[in-house]
Amino acid sequence: MDAVEKDFAESLLHIFDNVLLTEEMALSKGYFSDLSIAELHTLNAIGPYEARTMTETANILGITIGTLTVAVDRLVKKKYVERQRDTKDRRIVRISLTRQGKLAYRMHSKFHRVLVKRIMDPLSEEERKILTRTITEIDSFVEEQYKKYSSGEQYKKIVRDDTEV
Amino acid sequence: MDNSKKKTVEPSEEGGKPAAGFNRKEIFDVLSSMLSELLDMKKESFSEDTMIFEELPLDSLQLYELVVDLEEKFSIRIPDEAIEKIQSVGDVVDMIANAEK
């Protein structure tokens, strides 16, 4: 690895760790301190509008229905999520965010927006394009690696391990 | 509400109230009631010219409470980009009147 590559590797790992740490700190000091990052991402996957089925949500998160059921049970208990049975097909359970869940979702997406704004604001139009293209390429590459190693079920475990590094 | 005739122009298929069926006065009325409850201030304290962030003690959580409650009340969707453009109470009324159902 040459010096540039070394700097790049270090920065990449730093960003990775610090975004997670900052998110966690912001969360623990904020209004929704009873939520973990993984739980917030579950709220994100459910989204603030139409109720989703468990299968849809599990697919978005890349986890099994079993894992999602445990997570949703906890979120229902904390009053962030509610379950409804489909009126036409009682076998289908739909989940949606409560008012409290929608608030947490909105506050969390604000965190992401502020982060992006701070990074993008000092850049020129051209620099933004290059950065976006590069980040998208890194994202696809990391996603590919992740798929190679995991069987979906490890999503939560990975999130937890990363924060411990 | 006295404009039931107006509302039949755009009946909502799901039975929700279309935001377009509310006139500015009705929207302002609901909005000032919500602000009044949220901030524990008199309803008369607000006008369309009230500057939300300069004149009202509204924090970011309260802003989102307002947004979530307005979405529910008017059966509309308020995207983050629309929230970022808000300055006055009148801007919020415009945003609701033009919101996507």
DSSP secondary structure string, B11-61? --TTSPPPGGGS-HHHHHHHHHHHHHHHHT--GGG--TT-BHHHHS---HH
Report the C-alpha gap between A101 and A107 in whole angstroms. 10
Q: How confident is the model over B14-22, as a mean pLDDT?
A: 53
- B59 among known catalytic residues: yes
User: How high is the ipTM of this complex?
Assistant: 0.73
CB of B77 within 8 Å of a chain A CB? The answer is: yes
Report the C-alpha gap between A126 and B89 in whole angstroms. 37
Best of B60, B66, B68, B83 to disrupt the A interface (most A CBs within 10 Å) is: B68
User: Structural domain tally of chain A?
Assistant: 1
Q: How close are the terminal C-alpha atoms of chain A, in Å?
A: 22
B29, B40, B49, B59: the active-site residue? B59
CATH of the domain at A36: 1.10.10.10
- Residue keyed to tokens 């801007």: B91
B65/chain A closest Cα distance in angstroms: 7
pLDDT, tens digit, 9 for 90 and up, residues A104-145: 999 888 888 888 888 999 999 999 999 999 999 998 998 888
CATH of the domain at B79: 1.10.1200.10
Chain A residues touching chain B at CB-CB below 8 Å: 31, 48-49, 99, 102-103, 106-107, 109-110, 113
Confidence of residue B4 (pLDDT cuts 50, 70, 90): very low
Residue A151 confidence (pLDDT): 57
Residue B81 confidence (pLDDT): 85
User: Structural domain tally of chain B?
Assistant: 1
The residues with which A97 forms a beta bridge, in sequence order, are: A81
B77/A99 Cβ within 8 A? no
Regions of chain A short of the pLDDT cut 50: 153, 158, 160-165
B60/chain A closest Cα distance in angstroms: 8
A5/chain B closest Cα distance in angstroms: 37
What is the arrangement of strands in the sheet containing A52-53, beginning at the earlier edge strand?
A: A52-53, A93-97, A81-85
Domain that holds residue B38: 4-97
- Residue A11 burial (CB count, 10 A): 10
Higher-confidence residue of B5 and A52: namely A52
CB of B37 within 8 Å of a chain A CB? The answer is: no
Which one-letter amino acid corresponds to residue A8?
A: F
